[in-house]
Chain A
Amino acid sequence: MNPSPQPATPPSLRLHLIVLAALLALLLTSAGLALLPLGVFNTLSALGISVAKTLLVMAFFMRLRRGPPLLRIAAAVGFAWLAVLIGMTVADVLTRVVLPSPW
């Protein structure tokens, strides 16, 4: 309901290019961090940067920042359900008594 009026003026060219620059900078950061021995933080930083990049793409390129809240909910629900699938499956695997492999 409450149909939104005509789309607001699209974000500026400048904003698009700034976001792209930020995305590429994050890409190089994540590549660089992967080469440093940080232990478990290698994985965490890589995933954290991926989340940041995703949020940038969704907020600006996909225009969720100024879009209807319903669309944000739809996007969030997809990820939340995936988190349930991964979380509960991994929780089982981590607490299971694993039989040793044959090799």
Chain B
Amino acid sequence: MNSIEHAPLPRSYLDDGHSLRSWLLTHDHKRIAILYALAITFFFFLGGFAALLIRLELITPAGDMLTADEYNKAFTFHGVVMVWFFLIPSIPATLGNFLLPMMIGARDMAFPRLNLFSWYLYMIGGLFTLAMLVLGGVDTGWTFYTPFSTMFSNGHVMLTVVGVFVVGFSSILTGINFIATTHSMRAPGMTWLRLPLFVWAMYAVALVMVLATPVLAMTLSLIALERIFGVGIFDPALGGDPLLFQHFFWFYSHPAVYIMILPAMGVVSELITAGARKRIFGYRFMVWAIVGISVVGFLVWGHHMFVAGQSMYASMVFSILSFIIAVPSAIKVFNWTATLYKGRIDFSAPMLYALGFVGLFMLGGMTGIFLAATALDVSLHDTYFVVAHFHYIMVGGSVMAYLGGIHFWWPKVTGRLYSQAWARFAAILMFFGFNLTFFPQYLLGYEGMPRRYHEYLPQFQVLNILSSAGASILAVSYLLPLVYLGWSLRYGARSGPNPWRAKGLEWLADSPPPTHNFEVTPVVTDGPYAYEDA
């Protein structure tokens, strides 16, 4: 591009224009990743604020701080924002956008304009959600169950549904882009079985986004139409089937859990290999596990409906399929552990996050097996046991891995090093804060405390206080990275291209990388994670 300049290094993508316009109209996948990162961080803290309200309310058994209606709106807002505006786009839209082209040795995504467009869709969807919040919120829960959402709720269901519909298309477009990029943009020699596991995870997650999200979009359209016209196929008065809504909704929303956890698995595979300086144990098994999870993940949605009136036979099939999905998940945990075995483990911050992920994911996954058992689910359904289970996966798993990834690739993204001491402290604090918040909720659920109520029986108070105390620690550990990572942007030491001495094409480029990533398209001659040779 700049043939006049004779500087040995090409300009980094951060220096390629400083105006607001150069950011808002960029086609560079790395800049779009940063736009996404800023947006999802905003929504993360917004959703976190709703969680704060929930935990404050639950310190005392009486429903004294929030009314029942306000409490409903708080947990709905928390769920909607955290699921669709933080977790779904978290790793794919930020780290995935930034790293996928670099890891396969490409100059950009296959469709850069589409990439930018999907960010704008995300922002438009976000605006609808903010409008919903300002105008008074919605009380259906993030699941929008009919017939409440279609006939009875007085909240701003329409605004929320439109917002989620729009953000859904943003994730469809991201998925299409990832699939086309992975298929057609790989560097010479980058065969499918030489792809880093992060790329495999992004590919699998793109498949899930593309195959599940349209179903959500249409299901939400049906809710909107039913609200507008007062009739629809979910209306029991006509002989319609409210359970049909749950089928459609969970056909998306269960795979959506895999949209959240598969990228986390990809990140952790990179972090553990780099931190243990070893090849991943059982690369092919890891690949098949990723693909297996994404496919089988589509066949288990009925386990959300065991007590909703679904047929007993359907429940049995869904239950068995849900057990089966534990197999590839367990393979991944075994292989991460085996990778650590006899490794020269570097306990820097990314590794601490990764180790935290493995432990928390395992606990979350194991309790998922409890819930997949139809008989046990009858008593655990809609209790805090479920809340604890999916927070272990989504927060303990995905958010941990997301932050681990941010810490790992921060030098690559910004060209700066951050304080390891503070980062390690935050990672350890997060692990303890998280467990203090959510482990008591397992016990609460086991003892029978139902979810989604603003008051509870007095005997649950001690555990609830522990949980709220843990949540405040967790909040501090989420705010800390903002401080020391922000500080590093200005005062951090400059990073070389490869501060972790890690393998992978992204580390060949400068930190921060030039606009088109590679001066010469790299040629790949070996699989990923060639650490022993180093």
Tell me if chains A and B make direct contact, with any CB pair below 8 A: yes
Chain A residues near B (Cβ < 8 Å): 1, 3, 70, 77-78, 81, 84-85, 88-89, 91-97, 101-102
Whole-angstrom distance between the Cβ of B227 and the nearest chain A Cβ: 22
4 nearest interchain CB pairs?
A: A92-B314, A96-B311, A95-B311, A95-B313
A-B contact pairs, 13 of them (CB 8 A): A1-B184, A70-B183, A84-B298, A84-B299, A85-B251, A88-B299, A88-B314, A89-B248, A92-B243, A93-B244, A95-B312, A95-B313, A96-B314
Give A81 to B296 CA distance when docked, in angstroms.
12
Give A96 to B244 CA distance when docked, in angstroms.
12
Within 8 A of A (CB), among B278-304: 298-299, 302
Interface size of B as a range:
20 to 34
In the complex, are the beta carbons of B310 and A96 less than 8 A apart?
yes
Contacts of B317 in A (CB 8 A): 88, 91
A3, A77, A81: most-surrounded residue (chain B CB, <10 A): A81
Contacts of A84 in B (CB 8 A): 298-299
Give A11 to B176 CA distance when docked, in angstroms.
28
Residues 210-253 of B, flagged 1 when their CB comes within 8 A of A and 0 if not, give 01000100000000000000000000010101011001100100
Give A14 to B311 CA distance when docked, in angstroms.
53
Contacts of A78 in B (CB 8 A): 211
Whether a CB of chain A sits under 8 angstroms from the CB of B391 is no
Chain B residues near A (Cβ < 8 Å): 183-184, 186, 211, 215, 237, 239, 241, 243-244, 247-248, 251, 298-299, 302, 309-314, 317
Contacts of B298 in A (CB 8 A): 81, 84
Contacts of A89 in B (CB 8 A): 244, 247-248, 251
A91 in complex: contacting residue of B239, B243, B314, CB < 8 Å? B314
B311 in complex: contacting residue of A70, A77, A85, A97, CB < 8 Å? A97
**What residue in chain B is nearest A101 (Cβ atoms)?**
B239
- Given the known interface contacts A93-B241, A101-B239, the answer about A88 and B312 at a Cβ–Cβ threshold of 8 Å is no
Contacts of B302 in A (CB 8 A): 88, 92
Give A70 to B180 CA distance when docked, in angstroms.
11
Inter-chain pairs besides A84-B298, A91-B314, A92-B311, 11 sampled, C-beta below 8 Å: A1-B183, A1-B184, A78-B211, A81-B211, A88-B247, A88-B302, A89-B251, A92-B302, A95-B312, A96-B309, A96-B314
Give A38 to B483 CA distance when docked, in angstroms.
73
Give A102 to B236 CA distance when docked, in angstroms.
9
In the complex, are the beta carbons of B211 and A92 less than 8 A apart?
no
In the complex, are the beta carbons of A92 and B183 less than 8 A apart?
no
Give A78 to B449 CA distance when docked, in angstroms.
41
A92 in complex: contacting residue of B184, B237, B247, B248, CB < 8 Å? B247
In the complex, are the beta carbons of B186 and A1 less than 8 A apart?
yes
Contacts of B184 in A (CB 8 A): 1, 3
In the complex, are the beta carbons of B310 and A77 less than 8 A apart?
no
Contacts of A1 in B (CB 8 A): 183-184, 186
Whole-angstrom distance between the Cβ of B101 and the nearest chain A Cβ: 15
Contacts of A96 in B (CB 8 A): 309-311, 314
Whole-angstrom distance between the Cβ of B494 and the nearest chain A Cβ: 37
**What residue in chain B is nearest A84 (Cβ atoms)?**
B298
Contacts of A85 in B (CB 8 A): 215, 247-248, 251
**What residue in chain A is nearest B244 (Cβ atoms)?**
A89
